[in-house]
Structure 1
């Protein structure tokens, strides 16, 4: 497999695929952070998480079109507004879904799986009706185009650098919200002992709603980032939902650090193997390795330690 390449070519290939893996890692992290909050902290299996991501992508697409047609002079800065709108739209939709459906299904994970799977089908059909069945692409500002030449053989796309910086900022924001804020303390209290948290005055219903909505909002930001690395279609979210669940479970459902470590491991493995093997074979091998590790360590890479 490697014999046909020289040492310098292999070095360049691994460097390029490694950076491509970092871009995939960024999308995985943004998707998995939202899912880790919903699944890890609340025990809700949200099969519509990919559709929340695609809603963020479609909002970015609409914002791009509006700016290019009506305010072209401000087009270079539209992406920041698009991310904010994507977050707000998916946050509000997530709060509505939690109030209308999820709150009736807590402690019934199979029911949440079936209900959110049905929701994902409804949202897919809604996107197909509104935006059409064909995939659409977003026009990026000029400052996000092009690449930075690292060496003569290695070039780093600027939009990939932007996605990674965005992922770093969001990850730090989620960390401080979960572990350095009053709200995060309330979330962890509800996770560990809902009855006792309610007894000391925490509004557990409000915590649940905001937690679910926040996870969906982060998926919306992931959708904005996704428009830089792929085209957007009604079913595009389903291409990432399995990998995202794999990332969360492999890292440890209640561990943000485990989520990030798992996303890095899986994305790098897939990106590198896809160059030398087919994409489907790379996914199969990655899945087999992850399943093998989970058989030895079913709690994931990082398990949350709770004092009983």
Structure 2
């Protein structure tokens, strides 16, 4: 194998890793908002990703049966609806369950794990146990070949662009909006935030719902690279927690950096090693760095 071939293969594996990076980052962003900013261990976060994925599938099926001429334009609308539906379910989950468990991390973990199992069964009863895939628009298919021997999938570039847009919106909202100011004030000192008139209960609910909505967008992105089943979201929950922990709790920039590092390490090493060995290599890298820097790559103050 020549050097040019190895170089092109490495680049293609790197671009393949960008698709995994996009899904991990979107999952990690939602989890960083919920876990990092609120201190809630949400084991059902993957199921909110699944809600987004099934939303895309439903829109695809309805468009094919009712308005096949719109199959080329339904996808962006479905992504927005994936966010809104996951947001609504997150709002409901916070009101019905999470708000009773603040400052009780173990209870929150167990309760959200039970919620995760219940949602999986709901998906299984509604959509069946088999994995499903939406019909993607033609403009998401194929690849771009900037040079001979180098093919970059178009769906991967779209997912990367979507991730950059969502990440920018989250960062802008957190640091430039009234909601972001209220979140940061609540994280810094909940008692003082209440004293100056911030409704911390409503802030918590909105924050949890936004984190779930971002997970719904991650599910929409996931449909471009894989099929969706009742347990699809649970396959990413461990990696999402690794992203948040490795990057540093409550640090959105740390989430971006750690998602990129984990995805690229795993994707490139999978070509030279088996899938399981690549996973072991990635975990060893994370454990080694966390032993040297337990607070993560980007240390940030979190609410106690």
Fold shared by both chains (TM-score > 0.5) = yes
Aligned to 1:181: 177
Corresponding position: 1:225 with 2:253: no
Cα deviation per residue 1:87-109 (whole Å; 9 max; x = unaligned)? 11110110111011101111111
Paired position in structure 2 for 1:37: 33
Among 268, 272, 276, which residue is 2:268 paired with?
272
What is the deviation of 1:173? Answer: 0.1
Which whole-Å deviations, capped at 9, do the CAs of 1:125-179 have from their partners, x for residues lacking one? 1111111111011110011111111211111111111100000000000001000
TM-score norm. by structure 2 comes to 0.98
Tell me, in whole angstroms, the C-alpha distance in 1 between the residues paired with 2:261 and 2:146: 23
Mapped to 2, the partners of 1:108 and 1:276 lie a distance apart of 44
Structure 2 unpaired stretches of 5+: none
TM-score, scaled to structure 1: 0.97
Count of paired positions? 302
Would the alpha carbon gap of residues 99 and 305 (structure 1) be closer, same or farther in structure 2, given more than 3 Å must change?
A: closer
Task: Name the SS of the counterpart of 1:148 in structure 2.
Answer: strand
RMSD: 0.9
What is residue 63 of structure 2 aligned with on the other side? 67
Q: Secondary structure in 1 aligned to 2:152?
A: strand
Q: How does 1:245-264 map to 2 (within 5 A)?
A: 245-264=241-260
Unaligned runs of 5+ in 1: none
Instruction: Identify the match of residue 200 of structure 2 among 204, 217, 223.
Output: 204
After the TM superposition, which residues 286-297 of structure 1 pair with which residues of structure 2 at under 5 Å, given as runs?
286-297=282-293
Q: Which residue of 2 aligns with 1:91?
A: 87
Q: Distance in 2 between matches of 1:189 and 1:20?
A: 39
For residues 109 and 297 of structure 1, what CA distance do their matches in structure 2 show?
Answer: 23
Point out 4+ residue stretches in structure 1 off by more than 3 angstroms.
none
> Does residue 1:242 correspond to 2:255, yes or no?
no
- Structure 2 vs 1, CA of residues 305 and 115 (structure 1 numbering), >3 Å: closer, same or farther? closer
Task: Check whether the contact 2:250–2:301 (CA below 8 A) recurs between aligned residues.
Answer: no
Q: 2:279 maps to what in 1?
A: 283
Q: CA deviation at 1:305?
A: 4.9
Alignment of 1:59-208 (within 5 A): 59-208=55-204
Q: Partners of 2:211 and 2:272 in 1: how far apart?
A: 35
